[in-house]
Chains A and B, each alone.
Chain A
Amino acid sequence: MSFEVPAEVETKVDQRITHYPVSKRSAVLPVIHELQHHFGFISEEAVEWIAVKLELEPIKVLEVVTFYPGIRQSAPGKFHIRVCRTLSCAMAGSAELMDALCETANIDRSGTDHHHPIAVSPDGKFSIEFAECLASCGTGPVCLVNDDFHEAVPNAAELLAKYD
């Protein structure tokens, strides 16, 4: 499978690069975001492509990709869920929400660790991970599903039913 960035994505990338008149390297994160938005994750080919685009050694892209929790190196599900793990949400039941979401979506998190935080359902429809404080601590438990923000999530089944 050859790696190809569609023209409309590349246009957006080029547009983003113009926001950094002093240093193209500054565009690393924005370009990563455009590609991750399109492909779901950042593959080795994507790293190479970004390096060429920004005239950087690939390691300069890879060091960024491997640092940030918000950048994925493997494919998530069609709907990627991030449940807030931090104190106020934990007090509001985020661990229980995580368990209920996994059970409802048939996701097994037993294989996850610090370096592989994401678990995917067998049908590839949902993937899940914990995130740290999402800055809505007064309305916990909260989560993100792709780009949608959900607060005071009452019930796992109800939430997942919104995604098909």
Chain B
Amino acid sequence: MSDVKYISGKEPHPKERRMIFKNVDREGWDQSIETYEKDGGYEVLKKAMKMAPGDITTEVKTGGLRGRGGAGFPTGVKWGFLPPNNTKPVYLICNADESEPGTFKDRYIIHQDPHQLIEGMIISCFAVGAKLAYIYIREEFPEGAQILEAAIEEARAKNYLGDNVLGSDFDLEIYVHRGAGAYICGEETGLIESLEGKRPYPRIKPPYFPAAMGLYLCPTIVNNVETLCHVGHILRIGGEEWAKIGTPNNTGTRILCVSGDVQKPGYYEVEVGSLTMGELINDVCGGLKEGRELKAVIPGGSSAKVLRAGETFKVGRGDDAKEIDIWNIKMDFDTLAACGSMAGSGGVIVIDDSRSISWVLNNINAFYAHESCGQCTPCREGSLWMKKITDRLVGGTASPTDIDTLYDVAKNIDGRTICAFGEASAWPTESFIEKFKDELVADTNPELAGEKVNNEAQLAAAGLL
């Protein structure tokens, strides 16, 4: 890959290992199929089409690929959930909703390297037996949708898509479906409802996986953009080779998106687990801003529980058990889970000591209050209450007991809802209070202690008495 040059000023950091982002910011690169093919594009597809579909799934399992959309679920295992002896059509959906705050990776694949995604999708469709696939792309990527549609046309013209793909008896169509600005369409069953033309109300589980029952009540595989791209690379080098990248159970590369209070925010593709938080922030991202100290990090999109600077974490088991600080957390699925948070979508938000914790939490709560789909009472009401309480907190009109009320509200959402949005909205509040209670309480107004928020005068004015 030594022939690959990058646009000046956008070169990857030496600690990066570019596979998925090999062509992002690459000099002389464009989105055309010619450019992609000249670089070896669609050769893996030709190889894969000569394999038995089940063997492709086996390679993906051998590689140990875990989903990059948020939950980190093993992709090959998910594919294996398709019902045996199925007679219904199977669908594949690429989740390109990219809407978890702090996440910005799928954007660059879609805009700069669309054929990588399409090739990964065709291979995946062949593996699971899908003849119809959709790319569900967020509405705020209008250019991305056009780029993908143009790329699909190019691929069809070369018979990578359409009837009898590459002379085989496999037919495949891929269409681009644009969302309309709702975060909940990223949740896979909400996405499916949306694709069916309805409100994106997530479905009640079970079934836990759309692989059992998804689009049009047929078996459906939903995977993230980055995940589907990895499938192509696994097939290119083989599952066993691919599994050597990264660390056991945390294989491959993944793109970390760093934003907030660092010198060089951006996207960095690294071997999973090859970096600690300290290396990521201080080496790769150029450190914190001048004269600032680290206060907190949200490591996997805004739904992930916050990590506090100064906190200690217990990781490892048995003889390997040890206590580490935030700087020594390895950025992989298992370590972040052991630290009580998650790798999630790869969105790392860094917060320094110039920020008010109340303000940060209020911003996050406003997001969830806006995006709750409204189906479940705890989530619909609770997310709004959490926003209102933190509104008071930043406005200087919260009473000291408000913090306990806030915690109570969050705890009453967590675990009581139809979809994981409930946890996503509650975890920030829960973890911020568990780790920064003093600072939050300091933003309340002691003079308001004991005061009812909705006193009778207010209720009467609102016509509620």
Question: By the criterion CB–CB under 8 Å, are B178 and A87 in contact?
Answer: no
A21 to B142, CA, bound (A): 24
Count how many pairs of residues, one from A and one from B, have CB atoms less than 8 Å apart in the complex: 140
Residues of B within 8 A of A23 (CB): 196-197, 216
Q: Which of B141, B181, B265 contacts A69 (CB 8 A)?
A: B181
Q: Min CB distance, B152 to chain A, in Å?
A: 11
Residues of A within 8 A of B265 (CB): 88, 137-139
| 6 A-B pairs closest in CB distance | A70-B181, A68-B180, A70-B180, A25-B197, A137-B259, A88-B259
Question: By the criterion CB–CB under 8 Å, are A88 and B349 in contact?
Answer: yes
Residues of B within 8 A of A98 (CB): none
Instruction: Tell me the A65-114 residues at the B interface (CB within 8 Å).
Output: 67-71, 82, 85-88, 90-91, 114
Q: Min CB distance, B126 to chain A, in Å?
A: 20
Instruction: Tell me the B104-151 residues at the A interface (CB within 8 Å).
Output: 104, 106-107, 132, 138-143
Report the nearest B residue to A149, measured CB to CB. B143
Does B175 belong to the interface (CB within 8 Å)?
Answer: yes
A136 to B103, CA, bound (A): 7
Does B366 belong to the interface (CB within 8 Å)?
Answer: yes
Q: Which of A25, A33, A54, A60 contacts B139 (CB 8 A)?
A: A33
Does B253 belong to the interface (CB within 8 Å)?
Answer: no
Residues of A within 8 A of B200 (CB): 67
Q: Which of A20, A28, A134, A139 contacts B140 (CB 8 A)?
A: A134
Residues of B within 8 A of A21 (CB): 132
Interface residues of B (CB under 8 A from A): 98-104, 106-107, 132, 138-143, 175, 177-183, 194-200, 216, 257-261, 265-267, 302, 347, 349, 351, 355, 360, 363-364, 366-367, 370-371
What would be 27 A-B contacts, judged by CB atoms less than 8 Å apart? A20-B175, A23-B216, A26-B177, A27-B197, A33-B178, A54-B197, A64-B180, A67-B182, A68-B182, A69-B180, A69-B181, A69-B182, A82-B140, A85-B363, A85-B367, A87-B102, A87-B364, A88-B349, A131-B140, A132-B367, A133-B102, A133-B367, A135-B103, A137-B257, A138-B259, A138-B267, A147-B142
Residue in A64, A88, A144 with the greatest tally of chain B CB atoms within 10 Å: A88
Q: Other CB < 8 Å A-B pairs besides A68-B182, A86-B302, 5 of them?
A: A19-B177, A21-B132, A68-B179, A135-B138, A138-B267
> Number of A residues whose C-beta is below 8 Å from B?
43
Question: By the criterion CB–CB under 8 Å, are B199 and A140 in contact?
Answer: no
Q: Which of B101, B178, B183, B260 contacts A29 (CB 8 A)?
A: B178
Residues of A within 8 A of B142 (CB): 147
A114 to B351, CA, bound (A): 28
> With A85-B366, A88-B101, A133-B99 as given contacts, are A67 and B199 in contact (CB-CB < 8 Å)?
yes
